[in-house]
């Protein structure tokens, strides 16, 4: 059910998501859905948490095992690209776009989840700057936002076109960081 809802959310967004389809695609009826989740909002929140958890399990380790901040960030971009080959992963981008500038509970929850990724990237960027591998420039948080945006945008547009998605996500992300994409850790 969660998987079906995630697919639906990533394809149609929250407002256009029809619970009837979510349920039937999972082999159930709407009744079953309302038995498992309080309402549509509750379902969306659960999906966000589920996707976030999956992301942490799948991409997190790739980042953590790299001691060098730049290498870690590039690994993050590559891992994200691979992660996004499952359509499920567009959920974050789709919902963020849909709820940006609004005060909807789903939007708030998504922002909270995303914020932890932004913070993670910001820390890596400041670490990279201290190490001298990331050049000075705009505030680290701004760089982090651009980093995430560029990575997600590239991945979204390539729509899982393996194997180029991985390389290009890494390159776009490296560009946002201001480092040469011709480095060994990227190419």
Residue 44 beta carbon to its own copies: minimum distance, rounded to whole angstroms: 14
End-to-end CA distance of the chain: 39
Picking from 118, 166, 163, 126, the residue whose alpha carbon sits closest to that of residue 145 is: 118
- Chain positions contacting DNA, by CB under 7 A: 17-20, 23, 27-32, 34-36, 38-41
51 binds, among DNA, its own copies, none (CB under 5 to 8 A by kind): none
Contact call for residue 98 and its own copies (CB under 8 A): yes
List binders of its own copies among 52-81 (CB under 8 A).
none
Q: At what angle do helices 140-158 and 164-177 cross, to 10 degrees?
A: 160
* Binder among 3, 13, 60, 62 for its own copies (CB under 8 A): 13
Contact call for residue 105 and its own copies (CB under 8 A): no
Residue 35 beta carbon to its own copies: minimum distance, rounded to whole angstroms: 27
Which residue, chain included where needed, has tokens 């690994």? 75
For its own copies, the binding residues (CB under 8 A) are 11-13, 15-16, 90, 93-94, 97-98, 100-102, 135, 137-139, 142-143, 145-146, 148-159, 161, 164, 167-169, 171-182
């Amino acid at each position: 059910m969660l998987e079906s809802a995630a697919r639906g959310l990533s394809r149609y967004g929250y407002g256009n998501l029809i619970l009837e389809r979510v349920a039937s695609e999972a082999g159930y009826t709407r009744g079953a859905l309302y038995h498992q989740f309080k309402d549509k909002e509750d379902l969306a929140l659960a999906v966000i948490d589920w996707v976030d958890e999956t992301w942490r399990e799948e991409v997190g380790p790739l980042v953590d095992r790299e001691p060098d901040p730049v290498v870690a960030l590039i690994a993050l971009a590559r891992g994200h690209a691979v992660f996004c080959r499952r359509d499920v992963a567009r959920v974050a981008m789709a919902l963020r776009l849909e709820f940006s500038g609004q005060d909807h509970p789903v939007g708030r929850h998504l922002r909270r989840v995303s914020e932890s990724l932004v913070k993670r990237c910001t820390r890596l960027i400041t670490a990279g700057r201290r190490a001298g591998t990331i050049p000075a420039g705009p505030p680290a948080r701004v760089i982090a936002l651009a980093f995430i945006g560029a990575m997600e945008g590239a991945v979204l547009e390539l729509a899982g076109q393996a194997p180029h998605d991985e390389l290009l996500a890494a390159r776009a992300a490296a560009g946002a960081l201001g480092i040469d994409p011709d480095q060994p850790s990227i190419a």
